[in-house]
Amino acid sequence: MNNNNDVNQNESRTYVEVIGDTVYDKHLIATICISLIFSLGAFLIGKSIFPRFAPETMVQSYSLLLGIAGSLVGLVVNALLFKPKRTLNETANTSEELKEVYEELQFDLAEERVAILNDPVLHKEMKELGIAEMYLAEKEDPKN
């Protein structure tokens, strides 16, 4: 029953794209409000308390610093309230998929294989990362 409610909630959500990232619009508005409240609130508190003990020329600067500290507190609150919801699914690519990508990018896969085989440091690093087989699947490694 809860799964159906979750699915219905996700379908009714609207998302907006901000600086290349897709976010839930209500969460975006909430984070902006929280950040504004903390930063502006800290600035205004600073303007009211610093004149009591700080030199008059420094009241504005200290208030701005307190506002910046307030915005950092707002950032932490937002990070704790709104966790990332995306999931990243990684799958290993096959040499066939790699060939398709190289063709699309108009790269020469044979040239890449030769370059990998001729550079022992690169070849070792690719083996350690477990991606050498993906590039060299069709040809045998002459060094091993």
Provide the pLDDT confidence category of residue 140 given band limits of 50, 70 and 90: very low
Going from N- to C-terminal start, the domains of the chain cover: 15-81, 95-137
The one-letter amino acid code at 2 reads N
66 versus 89: which is more confidently predicted? 66
pLDDT at 142 over 70: no
- Residue 85: the pLDDT is 78
How big is the chain, counted in residues? 144
Range 14-28 average pLDDT:
86
The pTM of the full predicted model, rounded to 2 decimals, is: 0.55
**Cα separation of 65 and 1, whole Å?**
49
Write the pLDDT tens digit of every residue in 91-108.
767 777 777 887 888 888
**Cα separation of 103 and 50, whole Å?**
65
- Residue 144: the pLDDT is 44
Place of tokens 């009714």: 12
- Residue 141: the pLDDT is 45
Write the pLDDT tens digit of every residue in 23-79.
888 999 999 999 999 999 999 999 999 999 999 999 999 999 999 999 999 999 999
Work out the angle at residue 141's Cα, subtended by the Cα atoms of residues 103 and 127, and round it to the nearest 5 degrees: 80
The one-letter amino acid code at 100 reads E
Of 87, 71, 76, give the one whose Cα is nearest residue 37: 71
- Residue 19: the pLDDT is 84
The one-letter amino acid code at 46 reads G
